[in-house]
Amino acid sequence: MRIAIVGTGYVGLVTGTCLAESGNDVACVDVDQGKLAKLKRGVIPIYEPGLEILFRRNFEQKRLSFTDDLKKAVLGSEIVFLCLPTPQGEDGSADLQYVMSVVKELGTIAAESARKDYKIIVNKSTVPVGTVETIASMLEKCAVTDWDVISNPEFLREGFAVEDFMRPDRIIIGSDCERAVEKMKVLYEPFVRQGNPIIIMDVASAEVTKYAANSYLATRITFMNELANFCEKVGADVDSVRLGMSADNRIGKRFLFPGLGYGGSCFPKDVKALIKTSKEHSSEVRILAVVDEVNNAQKLKLVEKIKSLFNGELKKKHFAVWGLAFKPNTDDTRESPAIAIINELLRLGASVAAYDPAATETAKFYLGKSITYAKNEYDALRDADALIIATEWNEFRNPDFNRIKNALKTPVIFDGRNIFRPEMMHKLGFKYYSIGRKAVE
């Protein structure tokens, strides 16, 4: 099929590349000339494992192209995906300005074109319930009557996005138009050959499903973090509790690891947006307000432990931080606990040297020149009063502990991701502080 992808951000680039991989001709549209210049040279502007090999193959085979000509891309396509950013507004709601701006352009393109080919407008942007209906109404006002507008939310995990697209748990299509549904089933058939479902539902339900899924996962994470804090107070070990819980098949094993709270571009924004939308419809999802509050506080739990060890005096203290991204296998530092921790340490008068395998450049947007960016994890340790582990990259899991001990002023580790075992750290002679487990002192 001929596909147009409007927006070459994280979702748009992964969607376009994976659709091209299944044989479709994909034109990706963006207004960012700097980004377009890179993409046209075959340079990917994001870090996502597995994406580059698919991108290069389809770019070289000319199934994947990039342009700023929205009209040409739309008129030459059968299906148009809207993969546009919906950043958090000041009041917590999703900012739809980019989506609505493109929809207005689509209406103009359709109204002025002599061609009246049938097209499907697929909203993949995360939007509040009712947005697809609004888009359809806007197009109808432009006398566009032969296009169908549907919802097709994305469920891509950063760091696993290619895998999630190529082998999805499920595909959700929100539409009451049989013609559009059947065409979308054909498009997605190569990705569900193992039997994972394509679930058809009404548009409003599809829009809510995206927010519901992310908010529920954020709630699980937050519950475990609250439980970890409780375990510390009563002398329990949250890892043992987690194992006991996860053996219950009603609960399962995923999203039960305590830590520094959730971050990234999805969970924080989507939780706040659902809070706002539910209030607007006089049906507030009250649990999410607590989830949001607790998550913000959890990001600074390590700082509380650091202040306690150093008797509240952090001026002239120097810390090494391993990890800047909000989670491993991504360069995304939006809402990253590491950024919150570093900013608080700086506010308290400390200095920081940090290392991340992928997120150094993106972190500079938030931290600028306020910290030192190390070339590797061991370089960050030099003359530090303690090591802080903020992201659980695999390369941090089995380090050279002798090298760590020799580089630090004192053998102290604050582990916000519980990647080491306390009993092992005790044998190695470290002071060790983690989340929901007894401190090693």
With the C-alpha atoms ordered 20, 33, 47, 258, is the resulting torsion angle positive or negative? negative
Alpha helices in 51-199 (DSSP H): 51-60, 70-75, 97-112, 131-141, 161-166, 178-188
> Can you give the C-alpha Rg of the chain in angstroms?
24
Strand partners, 151: 123, 174
Whether residue 393 contacts residue 328, with contact meaning beta carbons closer than 8 Å, is answered with: yes
DSSP state of 15: H
How far apart CA 280 and CA 276 sit, in angstroms, is: 6
Rounded to the nearest 10 degrees, what angle do helices 238-246 and 203-234 cross at?
A: 140
Within 142-204, strands assigned E span 147-151, 171-174, 198-201
How far apart CA 21 and CA 4 sit, in angstroms, is: 14
Whether residue 322 contacts residue 332, with contact meaning beta carbons closer than 8 Å, is answered with: no
Residue 122 in tokens: 């697929």
Within 217-376, strands assigned E span 318-322, 351-355, 372-373
Residues 6+ apart with CB under 8 A from 169: 155, 196
- Beta strands 372-373 and 318-322 are unpaired
The torsion angle over the Cα atoms of residues 307, 313, 318 and 322, rounded to 10 degrees, is 10
Asked about 266 being catalytic, the answer comes back as yes
Q: What is the DSSP string of 259-280?
A: SS---SSSHHHHHHHHHHHHHH
For 85, 172, 254, 323, the CA distances from 17, given in Å and listed in that order, are 18, 19, 28, 28
Provide the residue count of the chain.
Answer: 441
Active-site position among 18, 28, 231, 266: 266
Residues 6+ apart with CB under 8 A from 23: 63, 190
Could you give the residue numbers annotated as active site? 266
